[in-house]
Structure 1
Amino acid sequence: MTAKEHTPARYLPATSPALSTADQEALTDLYVRGTPTNTLRAYERDLLYITAWKTARFGSALDWPESEPTALAFLLDHARDLSDAPEEGIARQTAEALIMQGLRKSLTCPAPSTLDRRIASWLAFHRMKNLTSPFGTPQVKQARAKARRAAARPPAPKSTHPITRDILEQLLATCTGSRRDCRDRALLMLGWASGGRRRSELTGLRRADVSCREFDKKGLIWISLLETKTTAKGETPRLVLKGRAAQALVFWIEVGEIEDGPLFRPISKADHVLKRRLSPDAIYQIVKHRLKLAGLPEDYASPHGLRSGFLTQAALDGAPIQAAMRLSLHRSLAQAQKYYDDVDIAENPATDLLG
């Protein structure tokens, strides 16, 4: 499915009388091509949620521009735990309606990051329509800041545990001989050894992104990531894969007969390789399945554990953080440093002063 198919026309640039039909179509296409696919999907989900909330809360459709009272009501409805709110209250009734529609999980206060993202999307919709957003008014801005502070909570790790090398070896030991095993071995090893790849990066890889020209002589494979969370189109990073990880990937390409198209694909129950690419959720299911086969709890780690595990292992092995970041592609030193800090503090001699 293309980015254009994901994009509801309701939040694309508003039609302007000053533009010809061709120019209007070109402007719309520019917005689609200039916005990451994952952002377009988030816009779609947020627009659906916001529209359903306004309908349940006020019995009306969204206004463009939206009113300040509506923006304040949205903040108030999402900045508190509604479990103790009166059952006849409009805020609770609205939340229950959204839960019934599968758009909200519970009456508890949503995470501040979720509220921030939905507001950011709402702001973006106004900008695309060349309209002033109510979230920029002094009262709403102040209420938003207070809501963020009131709902602040310690950041939850994206993976319960990092998949360090010893855990990865346990997962790889469950990959024996089928095509599915070959695919999972290559996916896990590439995802870990190339710097801890995100799910979208793994599922987005294509055969053309993998160069095996130096494999026979040097045992090296070069991987091009066309677009990542921290890099843009035209800034394609090249990552190297070597040793067992490179061998596993080459073996998968041969066994799966991957000549072009997606690199990692679904496999049928009859062990046939399909043509379409894996979905990001499939990566989660693969990690969960391998954890179970390895005798570990299914919720021991998530796919992000490959990323956190790579950096944690780099710290344990004494690899310079700058070297690890060249593969992980972390843009923020402070973000990558967290994994090193967790290891360093346990090894800090000052922790043994009492004996």
Structure 2
Amino acid sequence: MKPPAPYLPAATPALSQADQEALTDLYVRGTPANTLRAYERDLRYVTAWKAARFGSALDWPESAPIALSFILDHARDLNDAPETDVARETAELLIAQGLRKSLSCPAPSTLDRRIASWLAFHRMKNLTSPFDAPQVKQARAKARRAAARSPAPKSTHPITRDILELLLATCRGSRRDCRDRALLMLSWASGGRRRSEITGLMREDVSLKEFDKSGVVWLSLLETKTTQKGETPRLVLKGRAAQALVHWIEIGGIEDGPLFRPVSKADRVLKRRLSPDAIYQIVKHRLEQAGLPEDFASPHGLRSGFLTQAALDGAPIQAAMRLSLHRSLAQAQKYYDDVDIAENPATDLLG
């Protein structure tokens, strides 16, 4: 049997072997796959940091001084630090291992995420967290304020309808083109789906029962970043997006299994599912084909573009959120605010 990941519950003498295995299985099944992957990345980073900084493995529970050192090491720009600075030496080792990009101060969100994962590891093991110590708590709050910056957009530009049309115009007649057209239109028109949601779609998640009668296709997502298994509402595709998806299902011979799959150079549809990185490559390729810079937008531009277009077209934000499945009104409102401020007549007072 594969040994449990280090962040999973530690063996407890009070539990039988069967109960321990059941608890571990419960954590795995009850945690989204993307979250598990994030936990593993963060644990790998934190483990490497402590080994480089202190020459020792993680302790469970970890001590407050170690937690404080982690915050201090990531709360300043190390480019100007002396070469003998221990935090800089540690960062350079992490860069050499491919775990850190530069000596610059990490984004507050990155530090928060790694600390949140570390906190989660302690909760899973039923241990007291070192980040609850008053001094550590205060240092974390000060570090967040000191490094505060405007959050960088996940996509340089939103892929609004006009940009999407340029991408779709590059999809002509091959099976690969049919797949990309359906993937782009579904991703955008169903509310701006995330990469993991697209690659996780199965043929059985698509209902065509109403397509011949009303041109409507229903989608069932297993789960999303903001919804749990069994709680995600069905989504709908209409018009061109529905037609493009049905065409891909027919041309690709998708009777069961993954909905979106790789297509070989010989234009043969393979059986395995697309990876999230493949969607990044598809968007990049279509941008190039459309004559736009490859870094013009990322796959998240489909999500931000859907909400931006909804704002431009005057769609109520509540209606857009029913498709995008944003949990936070404030987060979705940002896209509407960008449109509102640009159209605000007070911006034209100088003429």
Q: TM-score scaled to structure 2, two decimals?
A: 0.98
Q: SS at the partner of 1:240? A: strand
Q: SS at the partner of 2:6? A: helix
Of 49, 52, 56, which residue of structure 2 is paired with 1:53? 49
Residue in 2 aligned with 1:202?
198
Residue in 1 aligned with 2:98?
102
2:148 & 2:102 partners in 1: Cα distance?
A: 18
Q: Does the alignment pair 1:246 with 2:242?
A: yes
RMSD: 1.3
1:101 & 1:9 partners in 2: Cα distance?
A: 21
Q: SS at the partner of 2:94? A: helix
Q: SS at the partner of 2:218? A: strand
Q: Does the alignment pair 1:134 with 2:127?
A: no
Residue in 2 aligned with 1:185?
181
2:127 & 2:87 partners in 1: Cα distance?
A: 27
Q: Does the alignment pair 1:271 with 2:262?
A: no
Residue in 2 aligned with 1:64?
60
The CA deviation string for residues 13-66 of structure 1, in whole angstroms up to 9 with x for no partner, is 111111111111111111111111111101111111111111111111111111
Given that 1:75 and 1:144 are in contact with CA atoms closer than 8 Å, whether structure 2 keeps it comes out as: yes
2:309 & 2:156 partners in 1: Cα distance?
A: 16
Given that 2:203 and 2:254 are in contact with CA atoms closer than 8 Å, whether structure 1 keeps it comes out as: yes
Q: Does the alignment pair 1:145 with 2:133?
A: no
Q: Does the alignment pair 1:289 with 2:285?
A: yes
Given that 2:4 and 2:24 are in contact with CA atoms closer than 8 Å, whether structure 1 keeps it comes out as: no
Larger CA deviation: 9-18 vs 280-289: 9-18
1:30 maps to amino acid: L
Larger CA deviation: 98-107 vs 271-280: 271-280
1:341 maps to amino acid: D
Q: SS at the partner of 2:217? A: strand
1:149 & 1:351 partners in 2: Cα distance?
A: 31
2:147 maps to amino acid: A
Residue in 1 aligned with 2:210?
214
Of 3, 7, 13, which residue of structure 1 is paired with 2:9? 13
Of 297, 303, 307, which residue of structure 2 is paired with 1:311? 307
Residue in 1 aligned with 2:85?
89
Given that 1:226 and 1:237 are in contact with CA atoms closer than 8 Å, whether structure 2 keeps it comes out as: no
Q: Does the alignment pair 1:332 with 2:328?
A: yes
2:269 & 2:166 partners in 1: Cα distance?
A: 25
| Offset, 1:124 | 1.2
The CA deviation string for residues 177-225 of structure 1, in whole angstroms up to 9 with x for no partner, is 1111000000000001111111111111110000001111100000011
2:220 maps to amino acid: S
Of 112, 117, 122, which residue of structure 1 is paired with 2:113? 117
| Offset, 1:351 | 2.6
Superposed structure 1 runs of 4+ greater than 6 Å apart: none
1:280 maps to amino acid: P
Q: SS at the partner of 2:336? A: helix
Q: TM-score scaled to structure 1, two decimals?
A: 0.96
Given that 2:155 and 2:299 are in contact with CA atoms closer than 8 Å, whether structure 1 keeps it comes out as: yes
Paired residues, what number? 351
Given that 1:8 and 1:44 are in contact with CA atoms closer than 8 Å, whether structure 2 keeps it comes out as: no
1:224 & 1:264 partners in 2: Cα distance?
A: 15
| Offset, 1:8 | 4.8
Q: Does the alignment pair 1:37 with 2:39?
A: no
| Offset, 1:353 | 3.3
| Offset, 1:140 | 0.4
Given that 2:307 and 2:336 are in contact with CA atoms closer than 8 Å, whether structure 1 keeps it comes out as: yes
| Offset, 1:341 | 1.3
2:97 & 2:4 partners in 1: Cα distance?
A: 19
Given that 1:82 and 1:108 are in contact with CA atoms closer than 8 Å, whether structure 2 keeps it comes out as: yes
Q: SS at the partner of 2:101? A: coil
1:244 & 1:329 partners in 2: Cα distance?
A: 22
| Offset, 1:354 | 3.6
1:170 maps to amino acid: L
1:183 maps to amino acid: R
Given that 2:201 and 2:258 are in contact with CA atoms closer than 8 Å, whether structure 1 keeps it comes out as: yes
2:52 & 2:345 partners in 1: Cα distance?
A: 58
% same residue: 87
